[in-house]
Amino acid sequence: MASTSFALERAFRPKQIYEQVAERMRGDIRSGQFAPEARLPSERELAARFGVGRPAVREALGALQNEGLVVTRRNSGTYVCADALQRLSAVSADAHLPDCDADISPTSALDVRLILEPAIARRAAMHAQRDGLAEHYLAQMDSIDDVSDAGQRALWNDSDRLFHRQLAVMTGDALLVKIADEVAKAMDQPLWKRLKDDGIHDPGRIRLYVSEHRLIYEAIVEGDADAAAFYVQQHIMRVRRDIAPK
């Protein structure tokens, strides 16, 4: 009985918008509307085609990239991979296997962060104390000078994710830390990393992000709750513009 209930629960999980767009695009690849090695329409054209916003299209394309079905070439566009049909056929052959939970929509994660993290920054600023781990993650981010290098890119992603989690630790509130852990998990998923790597690739942008993180931290340490909340809000809004433009 328990296993049946679990199966029903998974079967009726509502699909996120990007998942629905990705499934439609898989269907278009199977039907030949998007042929192997063909250039896909622009994000705006795809958004109009499917009646959704550009963020959902970008997330769907990121998911399809992670599946090896499409590839994005900077300043050129997104193309269907030559072996996309074979990959889709292999997935269909394994259709009896249970589905894995899809990654959380990065746009949704950013919306939640806009609600949560300014409040965390305010709460942390009430203590106005320095934190060794937060400073460690800041130093790691500051050491990045080549985001085209896979190792440095991974270090950047980990340091960024763990820095924001550490702000919750600085509040001293165990429940906020648990909530921040869930956000950190979303920031460690392949789709989040894909969109972040594609959207934040310029070295100058990285330096700007490092400066924003330092502003957040120093405002917390100085006990300036208003400034800490403001800097976090502005930073997250910049991330959203970079990885999920409207």
pLDDT attached to residue 91: 76
pLDDT digits (tens, 9 = 90+) for 66-79: 999 999 988 899 99
pLDDT digits (tens, 9 = 90+) for 181-204: 999 999 999 999 999 988 887 888
In this structure, the dihedral spanned by the alpha carbons of residues 132, 136, 139 and 144, taken in order and rounded to 10 degrees, is -170
pLDDT attached to residue 90: 85
pLDDT attached to residue 26: 97
Choose among 71, 72, 51, 63: nearest CA to 102. 63
Beta bridge partners of 77: 73
pLDDT attached to residue 3: 52
pLDDT digits (tens, 9 = 90+) for 60-117: 999 999 999 999 988 899 999 999 999 999 876 555 444 568 999 999 999 999 999 9
Task: Give me the phi and psi of 77, to 5 degrees please.
Answer: 135, -170
Q: Select the highest-mean-pLDDT range: 140-144, 153-157, 204-208, 224-228.
A: 224-228
Decide: 42 and 77 in contact? Cβ < 8 Å: yes
Fold agreement (14-93, 106-243)? no
Instruction: Answer whether residue 220 shows pLDDT above 50.
Output: yes
Choose among 201, 131, 143, 112: nearest CA to 171. 131
For domain 14-93, give the CATH number.
1.10.10.10
pLDDT attached to residue 96: 46
Decide: 225 and 126 in contact? Cβ < 8 Å: yes
Q: What is the pLDDT averaged over residues 14-37?
A: 96
Which fold would CATH assign to domain 106-243?
A: Four Helix Bundle (Hemerythrin (Met), subunit A) (1.20.120)
Least confident of 22-36, 54-68, 136-150: 136-150
Look at 43 and 97; give whichever has higher pLDDT: 43
Query: How far is it, in rounded angstroms, from Cα 228 to Cα 201?
Result: 26
Task: Please give the mean pLDDT across all residues of the chain.
Answer: 91
Instruction: Answer whether residue 9 shows pLDDT above 90.
Output: no
Query: Where do the domains of the chain lie?
Result: 14-93, 106-243
Q: What is the pLDDT averaged over residues 205-216?
A: 95
| Distance spanning both ends of the chain, measured CA to CA | 45
Q: Please state whether the predicted TM-score (pTM) of the whole model is above 0.75.
A: yes
